């Protein structure tokens, strides 16, 4: 597999809160734990980071703190998505100003744009800021699904780097490799199908599970990048239950429960997301044990 700057496992970092505010000390410690576990990049202020309920000031601070903590040890892809194109541009400008290596931008949720609107959304950011852009396709949240023909158009723009695909449809990898060219970066946004995504030619995964089990996820993707699918399947078997139960209730509630259990942060979330029910907690703890995280 070709060596790429953006590959392997990149955790979609949670944003820890304490007494209603971003817990910066816990956030730095979480990042250091990820780096010690061997992850290949960091993704702050995305969906798992509760970006939708961060203030603009908090969003910018989370990105800045992640870049400062990483200190160039791994690339940082900063969440900069918005259903307002102008706001996405402003978040992208800030990410570049603090030293992020790329940005992750979602399709236009709530607005429900057509394919031409989606193209113009990303093209406007491409034209406004000179920084690599990863298109984030997550129709389960945004309602709209960015089509392969639109991605082909976007792949011709100088700053559009590739995609985070959270559809779970691994066949899209082969289709996009064919139409977007060999330099198109293919990152899964779906932990359970990440192994299959790589087998089809993908390059990595922006992972929720890595928040809880960074070393195990790094081992899984190191094996995949080396073409050692037998070892990768062994790691996947240990992680598959955890992949699934971290979405047994609205994310990132299960992930924050798991990290609170490990003593790494408070379980605090922002409404309208609420903490895990008591019924979910034994399932999460059992999955953590299965994955070797305790």
Which residues are known to be catalytic? 136, 164
Distances (CA, A) of 83 to 65, 74, 108, 155, 167: 24, 28, 4, 21, 19
Instruction: Name the strand (E) or helix (H) holding 111.
Output: none
| 3-state SS, residue 104 | strand
Interatomic CA distance for residues 266 and 163, integer angstroms: 32
Count how many Cα atoms sit within 13 Å of the Cα of residue 260 in the half-sphere of its side chain: 19
| 3-state SS, residue 149 | helix
Q: Do 103 and 62 form a contact (C-beta atoms < 8 A)?
A: no
| 3-state SS, residue 162 | strand
Interatomic CA distance for residues 174 and 91, integer angstroms: 31
């Amino acid at each position: 597999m070709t060596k790429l700057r953006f590959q392997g496992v990149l955790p979609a970092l949670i944003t820890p809160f304490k007494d209603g505010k971003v817990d910066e000390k816990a956030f730095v410690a979480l990042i250091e734990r990820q780096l010690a576990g061997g992850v290949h990049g960091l993704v702050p202020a995305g969906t798992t980071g509760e970006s939708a309920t961060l203030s603009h000031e908090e969003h910018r601070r989370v990105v800045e703190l992640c870049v400062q903590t990483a200190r160039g040890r791994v690339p940082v892809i900063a969440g900069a998505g918005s259903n307002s194109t102008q706001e996405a541009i402003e978040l992208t400008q800030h990410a570049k100003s603090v030293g992020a290596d790329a940005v992750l931008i979602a399709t236009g949720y709530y607005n429900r744009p057509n394919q031409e609107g989606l193209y113009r959304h990303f093209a406007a950011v491409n034209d406004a800021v000179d920084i690599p852009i990863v298109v984030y396709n997550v129709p389960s949240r945004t309602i709209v699904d960015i089509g392969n023909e639109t991605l082909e158009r976007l792949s011709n723009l100088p700053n559009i780097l590739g995609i985070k695909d959270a559809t779970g449809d691994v066949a899209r990898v082969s289709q996009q490799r064919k139409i977007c060219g060999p330099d198109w970066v293919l990152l899964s946004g779906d932990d359970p199908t990440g192994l299959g995504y790589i087998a089809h030619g993908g390059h990595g995964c922006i992972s929720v599970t890595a928040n809880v089990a960074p070393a195990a996820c790094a081992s899984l993707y190191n094996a995949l990048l080396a073409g050692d699918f037998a070892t990768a399947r062994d790691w996947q078997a240990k992680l598959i239950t955890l992949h699934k139960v971290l979405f047994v209730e609205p994310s990132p509630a299960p992930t924050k429960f798991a990290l609170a259990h490990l003593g790494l942060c408070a379980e605090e979330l922002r409404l309208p997301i609420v903490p895990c029910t008591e019924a979910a907690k034994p399932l999460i703890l059992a999955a953590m044990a299965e994955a070797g995280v305790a």
